[in-house]
Structure 1
Amino acid sequence: MAVLKPEVKAFIVQAVACFDPPSTVVESVKTGFGVVVSRQQVEAHDPTKVSGRGLAERWKELFEETRKAFLEDTSAIGISHKAVRLRALNRMAAKAEGMGNMALAAQLMEQAAKECGDAFTNKVRKELSGPGGAPIPVANLSVDEWKGIAREVADEV
C-alpha cells in the first residue's frame, strides 16, 4: 500500500464524504495526482466503514464537515437545478429527433413538461368552495340540494 501525501488523503476523504464510489475515487486519484490506490485503500478513508475505524481524528473531522456541507448545499450539483435539467432534456430531444427516434423524443418532451409542472398533461385540477372561498357546508344539505350541486359541477366540467 502506497504512503499517501496529505493532499491526496484529503481528496480521498472528501470524495468519499460526497458519496463517490471507491472505483470512481481510484480513477480520480490516478488522473489528478498520478498515484495508484486500491479500492480497499479508499474505503479505509471512510469512517463510516469498518475498515475506516482507525482513521485519524483530523480526517474524521474533515469527513464530517464535508459530508454536512455536501448534504446541505445542492447548488453545486448542476442537475439539481430545473434549468439545467431542461437544457439537458432539450439537447437529448433534439438529438433523438435528429436520429429519427420519435418515440424517444416524445418521451423526453413529456419529461420536460413534467419538469415544468404538468403544463402539458391532461390532469384536471378543480377546487370547489362555498361562498367567499369558505368550505361547502355539507352537514345540512338535502338530497335535492346534493343533486343540484352535482349537476352544477358536471356542467362546469
Structure 2
Amino acid sequence: MAALSNEVKAFIVQALACFDTPAQVATSVREEFGIEVSRQQCESHDPTKSAGRDLAKRWRILFEDTRKRFREETSEIPIANRAFRLRALGRMAEKAESMKNMALTAQLLEQAAKEVGDVYVNRQTKNENPHDNVPPTRVQVDVVDARKPDAVT
C-alpha cells in the first residue's frame, strides 16, 4: 500500500463524501495524481464503512463537512431539478417522434408522466393513525355457492 500525501487523502475523502464508489475514486486518483491505489485503500478513507472506522478525526470532519455541503448543493445541479429533467425528456420525445420511433416516444412519455406523478420522489406521508399503513394479517373469505344465491358455505 502506497503512502499517500495529505493532498491525495483529502481528494479521496472528498470524493467518497460525494458518493463516488471506491472504484471510481481509485480511477480518479490515477488520472489526477498518477498514483495507483486500490479500491480497498480508498474505502479505508470512508468513515461510514467498517474499513474506515480508524480514520483520523481530521479526515472524518472533512468527510462530514463535504457530505453536508454536497447534499445542500444538490439543488444547484441541473439534473436534480424536475423542470430540467422534464424539458430534456420533452426534447428527446420530440426527436424520437420525428424519427418515427414510437416505442421510444411512448417510453419517454411514460417516464415524464412518472416524473410529474412523483414516482421518483421519496416522500413519506404522515397518517394520524399509524396502523393505517399496516397490511392485513388475516383475511376472511366467504365462499358462495353459485347455484344457491343466498347460501354461504
TM over 0.5: yes
Question: Judging changes above 3 Å, is the alpha-carbon distance between structure 1 residues 93 and 35 closer, same or farther for their aligned structure 2 residues?
Answer: farther
The total of aligned residue pairs comes to 118
Amino acid at match of 1:71: R
Superposed displacement of residue 46, structure 1: 0.5
1:7-156 counterparts in 2 under 5 A? Answer: 7-97=7-97, 99-116=99-116
Deviating more after overlay: 82-91 vs 55-64: 82-91
Structure 1 residue 81: Cα displacement: 0.8
Distance in 2, matches of 1:78 and 1:45, equals 29
Amino acid paired to 1:36: E
Unmatched 5+ residue regions in structure 1?
A: 119-157
Deviations 1:29-84 (A, max 9, x none): 12222222110001000111121122111101101111122223322333211232
Residue in 2 that maps onto 1:137: none
Q: How does the TM-score come out when normalised to structure 1?
A: 0.64
Offset of residue 87 of structure 1: 3.3
Cα shift at 1:22: 1.0
- Cα 1:104–1:74 shift into 2, 3 Å: same
Return the alpha-carbon distance in structure 1 between the equivalents of residues 78 and 115 of structure 2: 15
CA separation of 1:27 and 1:100: change in aligned 2, threshold 3 A: farther
For structure 2, which runs of at least 5 residues remain unmatched after alignment?
119-153
The Cα shift of 1:101 comes to 2.4
Task: Tell me which amino acid in the other structure corresponds to 2:88.
Answer: A
What percent of counterpart residues are identical? 67
Counterpart secondary structure, 1:74: helix
Moved more, 101-110 or 15-24: 101-110
**Whole-Å Cα distance in 1 between the matches of residues 58 and 99 of structure 2?**
53
RMSD: 2.3
| Larger mean Cα displacement after TM superposition, 6-15 or 94-103 | 94-103
TM-score for the superposition, normalised by structure 2: 0.65
| Distance of 1:27 and 1:98 partners within structure 2 | 40
The Cα offsets for residues 60-113 of structure 1, whole Å up to 9 and x where unpaired, read as 110111112222332233321123212331343245335542111122123334
Distance 1:38 1:117 in 2: 42
- For the pair shown, the structure with the greater C-alpha radius of gyration is 1
